[in-house]
Chain A
Amino acid sequence: MIGRIALRCSAFLVLLAGWEAANRLGLIRPFLLPPLTAVAARLVADVASGAFFLNAAVTLYRTLAGFALACVIGIPLGILISRRKLVGWFVEPIVSVGFPMPAIAFLPIFMLWFGVFDLSKIVMTGFSAVFTVIAAADAGTRGVERQLTWSAQSLGATRAELFRDVMLPAAMPQILTGLQVALPLALIVEVASEMLMGGTGLGGMMVNAENYADSVGVYAGIVEIALVGGIAVALMARLRRHLLRWHPEAAG
Chain B
Amino acid sequence: MSDERKIRILVAKPGLDGHDRGAKVIAAAFRDAGFEVIYTGLHQTPEMIVAAAVQEDVDVVAMSILSGAHMTLFPRVRALLLDAGVDHVLLTGGGIIPEDDAKALEAQGVGRLFGPGTSTADAIAYVREWFASRPAV
A complexed with B: no
Chain A residues engaging chain B, CB cutoff 8 angstroms: none
